[in-house]
């Protein structure tokens, strides 16, 4: 969850579609030093540059894209298009509009392949519930506190000594980079914390080589981390999907 390509695409495509960013600025940020190609874009028969997807969105009349982070058992936000649901679950992320959705696949550190899926004819989605940034920030706090106490009781530091330090460092404000200049500072802060907590989850879920972790201990750890993983996912979605009001 550290690199949410669909989140970057959703937030910058929305900024361009709503006139808050130029095409060149949005495309420069999205491309970075990585090669991007899009397959399945309406009107194309082969892979095309990522910029074509931005132009296609405007041509289709899209006004906003949203990040969706589907997991097994919770695909809220994904239109009921079998191809999209399968791709979204495999990737764990998707950028979803009303006419088109795009799902990224990393092909290594320097290349991303995007699959575009037409939403024409898909059953309409219920209006999304926009996450309140302060509410999801509070949920993160609660989940961190509960998880930290449980993980301490499980002696997680013995499995991975980096975790306590990462948890202790969450008190420092860390703003996620690479978002539009007018993005809410609270959203930047929430996203920065969510990204740090994703690192905690990765480390905590990885059994140290040679560690004597019983099945019961691993199950208790996984159960303790589940609320934190949910809070991180919801905070990430809310932070990326924030747009200025008015």
Instruction: Check residue 239 and give its pLDDT.
Output: 92
Instruction: Check residue 70 and give its pLDDT.
Output: 96
**pLDDT tier for residue 85 given thresholds of 50, 70 and 90:** very high
Contact 176, 188 (CB under 8 A): yes
Among the listed residues 63, 57, 104, 101, the one whose alpha carbon sits nearest the alpha carbon of residue 80: 101
Distance of CA 212 to the CA centre of its chain: 33
Helices and strands (DSSP H and E) totals, the chain: 9, 6
How many whole angstroms separate alpha carbon 188 and alpha carbon 176?
A: 5
Query: Does pTM surpass 0.85?
Result: yes
Find the mean pLDDT for residues 186-212: 75
| Placement of tokens 């899926």 in the chain | 117
Better-scored residue on pLDDT, 215 or 174? 215
- Rounded to the nearest integer, the mean pLDDT of the chain is 85
Instruction: Check residue 170 and give its pLDDT.
Output: 62
How many whole angstroms separate alpha carbon 122 and alpha carbon 18?
A: 24
Distance of CA 237 to the CA centre of its chain: 6
- Say which range, 63-72, 97-106, 217-226, has the weakest mean pLDDT: 217-226
How many whole angstroms separate alpha carbon 131 and alpha carbon 187?
A: 11
Instruction: Check residue 194 and give its pLDDT.
Output: 87
Instruction: Check residue 10 and give its pLDDT.
Output: 97
Q: For residue 57, give every residue at least 6 positions away whose Cβ sits within 8 Å of its Cβ, in sequence order, or none.
A: 13, 17, 65, 97, 99, 100
- Say which range, 53-67, 86-100, 113-127, has the weakest mean pLDDT: 113-127
Residue 210 has pLDDT above 60, yes or no: no
How many whole angstroms separate alpha carbon 142 and alpha carbon 106?
A: 33
Contact 232, 71 (CB under 8 A): no
- Say which range, 43-57, 94-108, 162-176, 219-233, has the weakest mean pLDDT: 162-176
Where does residue 30 rank: exposed (0-12), middle (13-18), buried (19+ CB within 10 A)? buried
**pLDDT tier for residue 171 given thresholds of 50, 70 and 90:** low
**For residue range 8-38, what is the model confidence (pLDDT) as tens digits?**
999 999 999 999 999 999 999 999 889 999 9
Which pair of structure tokens corresponds to residue 109?
């550190």
**pLDDT tier for residue 131 given thresholds of 50, 70 and 90:** low
DSSP calls for 120-163: TTPPPPPPP-PPPHHHHHHHHHHHHHHHHHHHHHTTHHHH-THH
């Amino acid at each position: 969850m550290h690199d949410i390509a669909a989140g970057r695409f959703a937030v910058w495509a929305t900024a361009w579609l709503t006139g808050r960013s130029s095409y060149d600025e949005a495309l420069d940020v999205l491309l970075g030093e990585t090669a991007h190609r899009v397959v399945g874009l309406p009107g194309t028969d082969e892979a095309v540059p990522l910029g074509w997807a931005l132009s296609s969105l405007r041509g289709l009349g899209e006004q906003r894209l949203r990040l969706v982070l589907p997991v097994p058992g919770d695909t809220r936000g994904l239109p009921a298009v079998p191809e999209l649901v399968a791709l979204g679950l495999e990737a764990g992320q998707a950028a979803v509009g009303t006419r088109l959705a795009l799902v990224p696949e990393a092909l290594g550190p320097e290349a991303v392949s995007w699959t575009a899926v037409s939403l024409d004819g898909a059953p309409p989605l219920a209006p999304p519930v926009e996450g309140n940034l302060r509410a999801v920030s509070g949920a993160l706090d609660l989940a961190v506190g509960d998880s930290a106490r449980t993980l301490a009781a499980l002696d997680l530091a013995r499995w991975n000594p980096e975790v306590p330090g990462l948890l202790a460092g969450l008190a420092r404000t860390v703003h996620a980079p690479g978002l539009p200049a007018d993005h809410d500072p609270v959203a930047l802060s929430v996203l920065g914390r969510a990204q740090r907590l994703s690192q905690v989850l990765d480390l905590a879920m990885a059994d140290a080589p040679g560690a004597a972790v019983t099945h019961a201990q691993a199950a208790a750890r996984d159960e303790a981390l589940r609320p934190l993983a949910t809070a991180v996912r919801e905070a990430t979605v809310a932070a990326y999907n924030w747009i200025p009001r008015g």
